[in-house]
Amino acid sequence: MSLTDLLCPSDIAAALRDCQAPDSFSPKKFFQISGMSKKSSSQLKEIFRILDNDQSGFIEEDELKYFLQRFEGGARVLTTSETKTFLAAADHDGDGKIGAEEFQELVQA
């Protein structure tokens, strides 16, 4: 399964266009534009699984840097500031990584 099986390709493209400039990425806005915020819990778990590049059950800081590239290979890498802000917004237990439930909470908030 791929992200385009769960999200509309034109919505993904619009979300990526919205954050093309460095330091313009907002997780909440990205989730809304891409349509992720309208997905069910089970769909979000599948999206998380796809985004968890190393299949560790967590999205770590080094994976977050390449978050946009999981949607489109040519997308930009998140800046250090964006990565840290994204991690801080989702990492409720302070373990330095985002679990599936934390991801779901952030997307649906």
Q: Which structural domain, as residue segments, surrounds residue 64?
A: 7-108
Each residue's pLDDT tens digit, 64-97: 999 999 999 999 999 999 999 999 999 999 999 9
Residue 103 in any domain: the answer is yes
Binding residues for Ca(2+): 52, 54, 56, 58, 63, 91, 93, 95, 97, 102
What is the number of structural domains in the chain? 1
pLDDT given at position 93: 96
pLDDT given at position 1: 86
Residue type, 81: S
Residue 49 three-state SS: helix
Cα separation, 82 vs 73, in Å, equals 19
How many CB atoms lie under 10 A from the CB of residue 59? 25
pLDDT given at position 106: 97
Residue 1 in any domain: the answer is no
Residue 2 in any domain: the answer is no
Domain containing residue 76: CATH number: 1.10.238.10
Cα separation, 38 vs 34, in Å, equals 9
Question: Greatest CA separation found in the chain?
Answer: 34
Each residue's pLDDT tens digit, 32-59: 999 999 999 999 999 999 999 999 999 9
Residue 73 in any domain: the answer is yes
Binding residues: 52, 54, 56, 58, 63, 91, 93, 95, 97, 102
Residue 26 in any domain: the answer is yes
Residue 101 in any domain: the answer is yes
pLDDT given at position 70: 96
